[in-house]
Structure 1
């Protein structure tokens, strides 16, 4: 029976894997890779449950509980950072469970997957940090060459230099510093580890949020402004946001014969000749969008104001709070923009426009720093507790272990 089930499930998986790319061709976002991974995960979970039932045991209910907690939290409110933590808890529990199942069943498929995962984790442990450093230096060079030498473009370079200095210090410090001093300087890697975990949770939910798939029943699409070239021209980064909105506009109109209104949101900066919203409207008109389907919000100075003022336009247009809306921005900015929409009590989730790969590491670091600043009190408290704990350990080493040099 086990062999027949495996063959049938394998055939079902192959059929689904073949159909998914064809199905995605009719969607606004034609990317099919996420759905291939999702389909594989569903089939794999079915296979694991089958193995457990044959034992018989029901330990799969433990990771299932963590997955359920994540899904309930995510679909109740997608724009929360805690969702990244919940998903990573599910992954940790799920991987531990699969390791336990491999030992119990010695299933060939699970053994191969566990072996491949083990090799990957071993390589990550041995060369992961060094590979990261090489990547950061390479990325910094590319960004500086293509985007200029502004401070915002130096983030990957600064991170690479900081990690290099930490590695060099860690290598030589054990031979020149006493134990209590090593414990004291452990403050820096401890805080770095904390922010690494926070960044990983942020990156996880940012990636998951990319796959938001709004229905073709929207009343409004908000396009977030991002600055103009020479104070008057829409740059490629902003053009991608507008193009994403136009893509959804045309797809909904074709599917339902009902076009949403596009709100171009962006005020006039000190160095700009006209409001971003006006320049964005002109761009959309050139792309063939009818003027009656374009609204302009020209007073906002930041993303939070984009959301607040666009919300006011929406509610004035419909005369109530009963509306359906989405917003478009670049993919790296998508999750933080969603957080601002939540802060503005705007019932809207986003769809992200693609960004050049070389730009993403620097951009995600910038977004992460902005989110840390948004929650700075919480992070300052946790970092303060880390410092106090390390100082206490230092005092213990000095007075009870002894200042051995």
Structure 2
């Protein structure tokens, strides 16, 4: 069982880090490293396993990821085509298609250069594989932990339910994506109101956050508040934060509103869409917001591209470390190509 010692240590570090604050990206990396070392531990056990169990272990650790990569490539290409058909040809809608084609492009490149007998080309391709492997590892960590973080539930009473804005249709109407967030926030408030009626607690306020863009006729917060009132929410239970233009400002300005009204000991839950929940949680942590983030449902076809976009943003937010690692891989690849 010594083979699983690194995985056990990493798992302990992951649990401690998550207990301290679930909103850190390092939690995702620790989870990924734990799974990798657990897989290595399984490989070390193979010689001592019965034949059937050994085959199953090899398939689980090696074959499933390989086949999973092919399946993922097909899925991303199909999803990319769906995105183009339903959402148009904006660059953000090309992400899943580009990722799927990139998977098959890399496989084709490896197959093409495999029998060329060129050490320099092999070194270059090897460096590219390392780069892709590093980014893919971080993406897998992000995806796994974002899924885990998405299981967050509101377990205690809160003072505010903060709903983040996301743009308006025609400059004045709430789109389906934002309506999903608002409905999630309304349901959380209703559930908390029921608990308050039973136990004598306080009904949380709905704080809608979003300023007015240059092409909008009113602030997102005003449109969101109007939508909630149409759904039966009492106006006195709604607060507006109508200055923000970005997620950072959403959370910073909302924090100011909550602290001014309820003091620094307020408790809140932040609502956004599920693909955005983990990154919003990291932003909330940096902004000093006292609360976790929950996600509302998103159309299935929209989720892959949106998730890739969120990962790109997280990757860039940690660009110093990531660029250093990527730069080191490029330099090592160049040296290896020259030596070859």
Q: TM-score normalized by structure 2? A: 0.91
1:136-147 aligned within 5 A: 136-147=76-87
1:111-260 aligned within 5 A: 116=56, 118-176=58-116, 178-257=118-197, 258-260=202-204
Counterparts of 1:60 and 1:119 in 2: how far apart (Å)? 19
Counterparts of 1:289 and 1:127 in 2: how far apart (Å)? 49
**What is the CA-CA distance between 1:181 and the residue it aligns to?**
2.7
- Alignment-derived partner of residue 348 in structure 1: 291
From 262, 270, 275, give the equivalent of 1:332. 275
1:4-403 aligned within 5 A: 63-97=7-41, 116=56, 118-176=58-116, 178-257=118-197, 258-318=202-262, 320-397=263-340
Q: How many residues align?
A: 336
Per the alignment, in what secondary structure is the counterpart of residue 186 of structure 1?
helix
**What is the CA-CA distance between 1:100 and the residue it aligns to?**
6.3
**What is the CA-CA distance between 1:63 and the residue it aligns to?**
4.9
Shift in alpha-carbon separation, 1:375–1:273, aligned structure 2, 3 A: same
- Alignment-derived partner of residue 46 in structure 1: none
Deviation string, structure 1 residues 118-156 (Cα, Å, up to 9, x no partner): 434454355333322211111111111222221111101
Counterparts of 2:4 and 2:330 in 1: how far apart (Å)? 39
Counterparts of 1:241 and 1:228 in 2: how far apart (Å)? 13
Segments of 5+ residues of structure 1 without an aligned counterpart are 1-56, 398-405
**What is the CA-CA distance between 1:85 and the residue it aligns to?**
1.8
Segments of 5+ residues of structure 2 without an aligned counterpart are none
Shift in alpha-carbon separation, 1:117–1:332, aligned structure 2, 3 A: farther
**What is the CA-CA distance between 1:101 and the residue it aligns to?**
6.9
Counterparts of 2:184 and 2:84 in 1: how far apart (Å)? 27
Q: Which deviates further from its counterpart, 345-354 or 302-311?
A: 345-354
Per the alignment, in what secondary structure is the counterpart of residue 357 of structure 1?
coil
Counterparts of 1:195 and 1:143 in 2: how far apart (Å)? 23
Per the alignment, in what secondary structure is the counterpart of residue 302 of structure 2?
helix
Contact kept in structure 2, 1:216 and 1:256, CA below 8 Å: no
Counterparts of 1:357 and 1:116 in 2: how far apart (Å)? 32
Contact kept in structure 1, 2:3 and 2:40, CA below 8 Å: no
Q: Which protein, 1 or 2, shows the higher relative CO under an 8 Å CA cutoff with sep ≥ 6?
A: 2
Following TM superposition, the consecutive aligned residue runs of length 4 or more in structure 1 with deviations greater than 6 angstroms are 57-62, 99-106
RMSD of aligned Cα (Å): 2.4
**What is the CA-CA distance between 1:372 and the residue it aligns to?**
1.3
